[in-house]
Amino acid sequence: MIDFVRRQLIWRGRPAPVRDRRQPCHLGARRGQTGFSLLELLVVLGILALLATVAAPRLVKYFGKAKSDTALVQVASLSSAIELYYLDVGEYPTQHQGISALITKPAGVENWNGPYLKKANDLKDPWGRPYIYVYPGTHGEFDVSSLGRDGTPGGEGENRDLTNW
């Protein structure tokens, strides 16, 4: 290919370009411009580290709150799906059937018109633990809850229990 280009340039009356092998083959590089100094790089890294230490705690706080908010929305969604199950079947899922009855039809259940949730992953809270379903509930016909980030009853902030009551 290179010979073809050289022949074309010579044919048109121009000499073929020859690269001087003593010169570096840097595009746009000039003498004395070899890059950034170590001091400049350290200053930039220091500024980035300072920004990260200031911004990181705020971001972690927002992510934790987002998981709690997501769990509250999912608990409300599960409660609505259980109510739809009740309207179709005439009774709430038993404690033995659990909320997995919203995804797969339990044995011996008539008029099941599910699945009532799109994904089986919707049966787990944002921390990866299954939601707690209690039937009959202590606060209503049924109770749906998540134990929060710490996975133990009680707590405050991200560790608080998230329920449908």
In tens digits, what is the pLDDT along the chain, a chain of 165 residues? 666 655 665 656 665 556 555 655 555 555 566 788 889 999 999 999 988 888 887 777 777 678 888 888 888 888 889 899 898 888 888 888 888 888 888 888 888 887 888 887 778 888 888 888 988 878 888 888 888 888 778 777 777 777 777
Q: Where are the alpha helices (DSSP H) in 12-117?
A: 38-89
Say which CATH architecture domain 65-163 belongs to.
Answer: 2-Layer Sandwich (3.30)
For the chain, the domains span: 65-163
Q: How far apart are CA 95 and CA 91, in angstroms?
A: 12
Identify the three-state secondary structure at position 14. coil
**Helix %, strand %, coil % of the chain (to 5):** 45, 5, 50
Q: Which helix (H) or strand (E) holds 104?
A: none
Q: How far apart are CA 32 and CA 119, in angstroms?
A: 61
- Tell if the pTM clears 0.75, that is, is over it: no
Q: How far is CA 35 from CA 24, 46, 48, in A?
A: 15, 19, 20
